[in-house]
Structure 1
C-alpha cells in the first residue's frame, strides 16, 4: 500500500479531495520542495489516523470544522507517547495548521482552534560548522578518493560552491550549463526555498573549481541541462555528494557533523568571525528572517569561549556560562 493509499482510508472523500487540492497548492503556487510536501502529507496522514480513532470514524470536513483545542492537544499527546520528539511534533502541528488555513480560505472550516495550541518547546541546537582549515581540505579536488579524476573534480566543485557561496546542496545541483559560474563570473543568481531569488558573489576559486570540472568531464552539460552530472551523464543525485562527503570525513578523521550542509554553516560562521554583518549574511544565505541568521552569533560566541577555555591558565571556568 502506498502512502497515498493509506491516506485514503483515514478520511472521507471530501477530506481526501481537499488534501489533494492543498498539496497541489503547496507544490504549484507556493513551490515547496518535494521533501517538504512529503513531510506535510505524512504529518497530516498521522493526524487523520488519530482523528479516526478519536472520533470513532474517518473524519469528514464537518468533523474538522468542529474540532476544539483539546482535540489538537490530544493528537500531540498521542504522538509524544509514541516517542516522537519536540521538533517533529512542532512540524506535524505546522502541517495540520497549513491544511486547516487552506480550508479556511475556501470557507470550509474555521482554523482558529488550531492556532491557540502552542507547539512543544524545542531544544535549541546550534549549527556545527567545520574549521576553515578542514573546509579548505574538503573542497580540494586532490583530497578526493575517486579513481576518476573528473568525478573528484565534480565533487570538489560542488563542495566549493557550498562553502564559497553558502549554497544549499539543492541550489548547487539546480545550476545549469548556462548558469555555471565560469572564469570572469562575478555573481550568481540562485533560487532558494520558497522560490526566493538572491544574488551571491562568486569567488575566483569557485569559478576555477567549476572550470576544472568542466574541462575533465566526458559528458558535456547542455545549456539548459544540469551542470553537475552523474557517472553515466544523468543529473547528479544529492546522495552521491553526501556519500562522497562521508568518505572524505572518514579519511580525514572529521566528525559525522561534517556534512555538505555543514559547509554552508561554515560559510556563514567564518564570514561572521571575519567581521561580516548579520544583514548581509542573511541576504547571502537567503534566509527569510534575520532571527534564523542570528543563531550564527551563538555559534561564534561558543567558539570564542572554547578558545578562551583552551588558552587561559584557568581554562574551563567559562564552560558553565551561556553564550
Structure 2
C-alpha cells in the first residue's frame, strides 16, 4: 500500500507539497517494520502532515528541527485552528515526530543548524554531572531533572534568584506531601552544587533551601494482609490482555520484593533454572545480588516465556507485546500492571512499594530478623529496615511493659 494513497486527501496534499515528502515512504516503512497497526500508522502520518503544513505556512527551517518541533507542540497546538484532519493530541503528535527524528537519523540526514536552548543545555550538563560525578541511577536523575526543569521554566534562567527560588519552593511544597518535599529539597541542593561546580556564585542561595519537618520512621509501613495478597494474585482472569506477563510481573514483586526497575531490567541470562536462583544486576545498591527463585515465581515466568512472550531477539524477560516491538517493558509498565491488578480486585492502593513492605512483614511474622529483611530487600544500610520493627507484633509483644497501675 502506498503511504500517500492510504491518507486522507487533505493530509496527503499537505505532505506532497512539503519538504518532508521524500521522507514519507521511509517513515511508512519504519512504522510498518516496528509492527505498528495500520490505524496508528495513518494517525502518525496525519500528525506528520499537520507539522508539514505548519512548517510550510510559517516558512520554518527544518535545519532547526528540534527547535521547530518544540515550537509546534508547545506554541501552535494549544491554539491550533487548522482544518481536519489535523491531529492536535500533544502525546500523539510528540510520538509521531519522535519517529520523524529516528527516520532522519536512519536516512543519514541531520539537522546541523539546531539552535541550542541554554536551559536545555544546562539540564543536559546537569544530567552528565549527576551520572559521571555523583554516580546516580537513571531513575534518580530523571526525577531530579523533572524538578529542576520546572524550576528553570519558571525562572527562565540557569541560576535562579533567591526570590524566585523561594517562590518555587513554596509552590512545590503546596503541591506535594512532606515525604516528597524532601525529594524536592534534595534535587535543589544537588542542582546548586552543580552550579557551584560550573563556577556560579550560589552560596547565598543555600540558606534559602530548608528541609521541611518530616520524621522518616514516624508512620507505620503500609502492608497487605494475607487475604489481600491472595485477592491480588487472583486478579488475572482468562482473556485479560497480556495476562501471563502481568501475572509473572506481580509475582516478582510479591514473592521477591523487586523494585519496578529491577523487574523491567530482568534478563533471561539472570535466571539459573537448574540452581533455582535469580541474579539482580541493576539494583539500587549498584551491586549484583543472588536470590533464590521461589517455585511459584519460576512457574509464572516460565509459563509466560513458553506461551505468551512474542518472538524477539531482546534478552530481557518482559518485552513489549505491541509496537514498537523488540523492546523491553519499562518501569511504567510494571507500575501500571500492579495498579491495574489493585483496581480489578478492589484494593484501594496505587503504590507498588506496599508489596515490598508486605514481604518484609511476612518475613518477620515467620521468625525472620531485621538483618534478613535488609538482605532480602537489598538495603544498603540496616537502618533502612528499622521501620519494619514497628510491624513485628510478636517481638513487640514480648518486650511490652505493663501500663502503670494496671494488674500484672
* TM-score where L is the length of structure 1: 0.69
Q: Give the drift of 1:17.
A: 4.6
The 1:48–1:267 alpha-carbon spacing in structure 2 relative to 1, beyond 3 Å, is same
- Matched with 2:342 is 249
Give 1:93 shift.
1.8
Name the counterpart of 2:126.
22
Bigger relative contact order, structure 1 or 2 (CA pairs below 8 A, ≥6 apart): 1
| Residue from 219, 229, 249 that aligns with 1:158 | 249
Q: Deviation of residue 260 (structure 1)? A: 3.8
1:266 aligns with 2:370: no
Change (3 A) 1:113 1:291: farther
For residues 117-266 of structure 1, the aligned pairs below 5 Å read 117-122=209-214, 124-139=218-233, 143-147=235-239, 151-180=242-271, 182-193=273-284, 195-217=286-308, 219-220=310-311, 222=313, 225-232=315-322, 234=326, 235-257=328-350, 259-266=351-358
CA distance in 2, matches of 1:218, 1:60: 46
CA-CA distance at 1:190 after TM superposition: 3.3
Secondary structure at 1:294 match in 2: helix
The 3 A distance-change label for structure 1 pair 28 and 262 is: same
Number of residue pairs aligned between Structure 1 and Structure 2:
282
Q: 1:312 aligns to what? A: none
Q: Cα gap change, 1:84/1:287 in structure 2, threshold over 3 Å: closer, same or farther?
A: same
RMSD: 3.9
Question: What do residues 47-75 of structure 1 show as CA deviations (whole Å, max 9, x unaligned)?
Answer: 4466x4xxxxx5565x77xx6xx886565
Partner of 1:89: 181
Which blocks of at least 5 consecutive residues in structure 1 are unaligned? 7-12, 53-57, 306-317, 319-323
Q: Does 1:33 align with 2:125?
A: no
> CA separation in 2, counterparts of 1:118 and 1:166?
33
Partner of 1:55: none
1:167 and 1:264 in contact (8 A); partners too: yes
Are residues 186 and 46 of structure 1, via their aligned partners in 2, closer, same or farther at CA, if it must alter by over 3 Å? closer
Task: Please report how far the alpha carbon of residue 213 of structure 1 lies from its aligned counterpart in structure 2 after TM superposition.
Answer: 1.7
Larger CA Rg, structure 1 vs 2: 2
Q: Secondary structure at the match of 2:290?
A: strand
Cα distance in 2 for residues equivalent to 1:31 and 1:107: 22
Deviation, 1:296, is: 1.8
Q: 2:375: which partner in 1?
A: 283
Give the CA deviation at 1:160: 1.4
Q: Match of 1:42?
A: 146
- Cα distance change on mapping 1:131 and 1:284 into 2, 3 Å: same
CA distance in 2, matches of 1:133, 1:221: 37
Alpha-carbon distance, 1:119 to partner: 0.5
TM-score w.r.t. length of structure 2: 0.57
Structure 1 consecutive aligned stretches of length 4 or more whose deviation exceeds 6 Å: 13-16, 302-305
Q: Does the C-alpha gap of structure 1 residues 120 and 205 become closer, same or farther in structure 2, counting only changes over 3 Å? A: same
SS at structure 2 position matched to 1:178 = helix
